[in-house]
Homo-oligomer: A and B are copies of this chain.
Amino acid sequence: MSSTPSQPPTSQANWELDRVVAELRAVREKWRESQQRARDAGGRELPSRETLGRIVEALRGVMFPMRLGPSDLRQQSEDFYVGFTLDSALNALLGQVRLELRHAGRQSPAPDQALEARAVTIVRDFAATLPSIRALLDTDVEAAFRGDPAARSVDEVLLCYPGIVAIINHRIAHELYLRELPLLARIVAELAHAETGIDIHPGARIGHSFFIDHGTGVVIGETAVIGDRVRIYQAVTLGAKRFEQDETGALQKGQPRHPVVEDDVVIYAGATILGRITIGKDSTIGGNVWVTRSVKPGSHVSQASSRSQTPD
């Protein structure tokens, strides 16, 4: 209950609202002209971060009902909960898919019915992949449990580990990305990025039993390819080698430009791996190292040691 002021707080205050509003309109119009946007569009054309957040939360519950669903759920009603929540989430997703398809096609709009049919097909196909996504995520949870000496149970892993949040969102986002919904996919990825500090582009292809420990600062690029049973620590970058791209004058979008990491590789904290190189199977990349060339299978890469000035 907020108390109320003892004198009219704003009676003298004059913000010159009309002027500021007019100037803000002028800036908007200038921007729209520069972007060649039509002025007479109706409502907002863009997907909603909040709505996607709720959809992802519902899908987490759908896939892990007793652990990420409502706290009063019982096994007796799991299927009821899953079916109801899934339908609601898919209908909401359908709305977001329509928005992205329409936005993407606004230069050459398709007939409404064609767009609607495509949206429905996308959502149905997406729904059909959820069981296999859950199965993949089970391998990730087990990998985390086996890979972290501090983990005491698989439940702790699912409830606590930011790496699990990131991979749940990624596996959802990747399916959206494959269905040509890059904007929805990106929003789902950024929701995990904001929560965990782990930034996985939805385009990245990641095998089973993937584990990111701690995770803050991890960046995985759009065209990265990661094998099975790979383990990554905080602040690892799987990025593009930008220098060369800068010199071409124009950025080439969509080209393979991020690393390929083969099965059973471990990459320690702070390592930076750049460009379309391959880290061979079973290799170990040490902390803080900088790798810009391919590494053979079974390699150990580590950093030169630091200088120590002892006080005598």
Distance in angstroms from A218 CB to nearest chain B CB is: 8
Q: Which residue on chain B has the smallest CB distance to residue A120? A: B13
Contacts of A195 in B (CB 8 A): 194
Contacts of A295 in B (CB 8 A): 308, 310
Size range of the interface on A?
A: 35 or more
The contact string, 1 if C-beta is below 8 Å from chain B, for chain A 268-301, is 1110101000000000101111111001111111
When the two chains form their complex, are residues A67 and B46 in contact, meaning their CB atoms are under 8 A apart? yes
For the complex, what is the distance from the CA of A103 to the CA of B39, rounded to whole Å? 34
When the two chains form their complex, are residues A116 and B288 in contact, meaning their CB atoms are under 8 A apart? no
Contacts of A240 in B (CB 8 A): 149
For the complex, what is the distance from the CA of A299 to the CA of B308, rounded to whole Å? 7
When the two chains form their complex, are residues A237 and B287 in contact, meaning their CB atoms are under 8 A apart? yes
When the two chains form their complex, are residues B290 and A305 in contact, meaning their CB atoms are under 8 A apart? yes
Query: Is A143's beta carbon under 8 Å from chain B?
Result: no
Q: Which of B21, B128, B270, B291 contacts A79 (CB 8 A)?
A: B21
For the complex, what is the distance from the CA of A219 to the CA of B112, rounded to whole Å? 47
When the two chains form their complex, are residues A245 and B17 in contact, meaning their CB atoms are under 8 A apart? no
Copies assembled: 6
Q: Which of B70, B119, B160, B268 contacts A186 (CB 8 A)?
A: B160
Query: Is A242's beta carbon under 8 Å from chain B?
Result: yes
Query: Is A206's beta carbon under 8 Å from chain B?
Result: no
For the complex, what is the distance from the CA of A130 to the CA of B269, rounded to whole Å? 35
When the two chains form their complex, are residues B287 and A306 in contact, meaning their CB atoms are under 8 A apart? no
Q: Which of A1-47 touch B at CB < 8 Å? A: 1-21, 23-28, 30-31, 34-35, 39-47
Q: Which residue on chain B has the smallest CB distance to residue A2? A: B2
Q: A14-B76, A15-B86, A92-B3 are known contacts. Are A135 and B98 too (CB-CB below 8 A)?
A: no
The contact string, 1 if C-beta is below 8 Å from chain B, for chain A 34-75, is 110001111111111101001100100011011101111111
When the two chains form their complex, are residues A74 and B95 in contact, meaning their CB atoms are under 8 A apart? no
Q: Which residue on chain B has the smallest CB distance to residue A291? A: B306
When the two chains form their complex, are residues A289 and B301 in contact, meaning their CB atoms are under 8 A apart? no
The contact string, 1 if C-beta is below 8 Å from chain B, for chain A 118-146, is 01100110011011001100100000001
Contacts of A168 in B (CB 8 A): none
Q: Which of A197-254 touch B at CB < 8 Å? A: 197, 199, 201, 203, 214, 216-217, 219, 221-222, 234-235, 237, 239-240, 242-243, 245-246, 251-254
Contacts of A152 in B (CB 8 A): 182-183, 253
